[in-house]
Amino acid sequence: MTNLDKLKIKIFADGAELDGILELYKNRYIAGFTTNPTLMNKSGIKDYEGFARKLLEHIPDRPFSFEVFSDEFDEMERQALKIASWGKNVYVKIPVTNTRRESSVNLVKKLADAGVQLNVTALMTLEQVSDISAALGNNVPSYISVFAGRIADTGRDPMPLMKRAVEILSPHNKQELIWASPRELLNIFHAEEIGCHIITVTHDILKKLSIVGKDLDEYSLDTVKMFRDDAVKAGFSL
């Protein structure tokens, strides 16, 4: 299937560039937004709260995930409650463990029970999915972000794991699985195929949405023209 209008999966944009995010907000295929400290650092953001609040002023009506960055659970909790207070559409990203490999499961349960919308992030195993799904329960809408692309980076096919993750979440109708860290546009269709609820896609990959379903003869010709134009621009001679 190569028709965006027929997709059931929701596409979220993953990024940290204000202009790019605001441009994508105009795109009807973008149902929500995510960011993370690595993307924010790459974009040169220094004022975390100022950046987030500016985005939320412009985008008050689609889910937006912002991540805590402490390595201590009590401080993560404080940050989570603060971030959650910035808007009704905010989801707080909690990493599945801290850097000492200690599970965030107790904090996740506490925050979910308190009604905080969470996006538990950086999961890569089914054991993590089961534990976090049980901790989240069904009190409040939540996301579980499994980093399918990073799993694929290790030479493993993420499809069977992602398929099983969908099944693990299925008893909880307020939990949605996010296919995180896609590596190519085709992953949107992979995620759709296994019934994943959401895929979060970087701005670079999203630029390719306009060529979904493009005629391959036309695309081949565009490619030939690109080589010819660039050779002319470079002034090559032999």
Q: Residues in the site for ligand E4P, rule: CB under 6 A?
A: 14, 34, 36, 121, 145, 147, 149-150, 180-181, 200
Q: What's the CA gap between 116 and 109, in Å, rounded?
A: 10
Going by their DSSP bridges, the two strands 118-123 and 10-14 should be labelled as: unpaired
Residue by residue, DSSP assigns 113-130 as: HTT--EEEEEE-SHHHHH
Tokens for 52? Answer: 């987030």
Q: How far is the CB of 149 from ligand E4P (least distance, A)?
A: 5
Q: How far is the CB of 41 from ligand E4P (least distance, A)?
A: 12
Q: How far is the CB of 34 from ligand E4P (least distance, A)?
A: 4
Q: How far is the CB of 155 from ligand E4P (least distance, A)?
A: 15
CA dihedral 37, 38, 43, 46 (to 10 degrees): 40
Query: Based on CB atoms, which residue is closest to ligand E4P, 90 or 180?
Result: 180
Centre a 10 Å sphere on the Cβ of residue 85 and count the other Cβ atoms it contains: 9
Q: Which residue pairs, CB below 8 angstroms and at least 24 apart, start in 44-53?
A: 45/16, 49/86, 51/16, 51/18, 52/83, 52/86, 53/86
Residue nearest to ligand E4P (CB): 181
Query: Based on CB atoms, which residue is closest to ligand E4P, 128 or 181?
Result: 181
Query: Based on CB atoms, which residue is closest to ligand E4P, 16 or 116?
Result: 16
146 near 176, Cβ under 8 Å? Answer: no
Query: Based on CB atoms, which residue is closest to ligand E4P, 94 or 116?
Result: 94
Q: How far is the CB of 61 from ligand E4P (least distance, A)?
A: 20
129 near 165, Cβ under 8 Å? Answer: yes
Q: How far is the CB of 148 from ligand E4P (least distance, A)?
A: 9
Query: Based on CB atoms, which residue is closest to ligand E4P, 12 or 73?
Result: 12
Query: Based on CB atoms, which residue is closest to ligand E4P, 104 or 200?
Result: 200
